């Protein structure tokens, strides 16, 4: 059908149509590699989250998603500085990875992640300053 073909061709529609279970499975697959890279610096867990899809007239429209909660080592309430350094390290990758800071963690919503291998390969460049 035409709507199905359009969804396959348009990246935004393809991302919006991904079921949360599929996104969670992707998060499960990449979690261990990220945790191994971060070692003692942070913990990494798979979490349910919401993707904000609206803008303009519907800025708060959300759909269920899944992602990773990355928490700097050092307890339940890490310092803002540790979170900012963690966030900056991901933003400074060759293909920037942008998350949101929430509840003492960097949340990476994986709804738009299509190429897991490329995402994991660039972790070689992850540097904390």
Helix (H, G, I), strand (E, B) or coil at 106: strand
Rounded to two decimals, the pTM is 0.80
| Predicted pLDDT of residue 68 | 97
Q: Are 73 and 38 in contact (CB under 8 A)?
A: no
Closest CA to 118 of 100, 99, 93: 93
Whole-number pLDDT of residue 73: 87
Q: Quick one: what percent of the chain has pLDDT higher than 90? A: 53
pLDDT of 49 > 60? The answer is yes
- Tell me the mean pLDDT in the region 1-6: 52
DSSP assignments along 21-86, one per residue: HHHHHHHHHHHHHHHHHHGGGEEEEEEEEEEE---TT-TT-EEEEEEEEEEESSSSS--HHHHHHH
Per-residue model confidence as pLDDT tens digits over 57-116:
666 777 889 999 999 987 555 567 889 999 999 999 999 999 999 989 999 999 888 899
Answer whether residue 11 shows pLDDT above 80: no
- For residues 46 and 11, which has the higher predicted lDDT (pLDDT)? 46
pLDDT of the residue at 61: 76
């Amino acid at each position: 059908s035409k709507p199905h073909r359009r969804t396959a061709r348009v990246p935004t529609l393809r991302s919006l149509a991904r079921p949360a279970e599929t996104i969670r499975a992707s998060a499960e697959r990449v979690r261990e590699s990220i945790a191994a890279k971060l070692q003692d610096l942070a913990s990494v867990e798979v979490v349910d989250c919401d993707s904000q899809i609206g803008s303009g007239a519907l800025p708060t429209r959300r759909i269920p998603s899944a992602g990773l909660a990355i928490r700097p080592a050092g307890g339940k309430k890490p310092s803002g500085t540790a979170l900012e350094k963690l966030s900056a390290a991901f933003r400074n990758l060759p293909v920037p990875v942008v998350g949101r800071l929430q509840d003492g963690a960097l949340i990476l919503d994986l709804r738009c992640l299509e190429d897991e291998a490329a995402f994991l390969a660039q972790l070689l460049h992850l540097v904390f300053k």
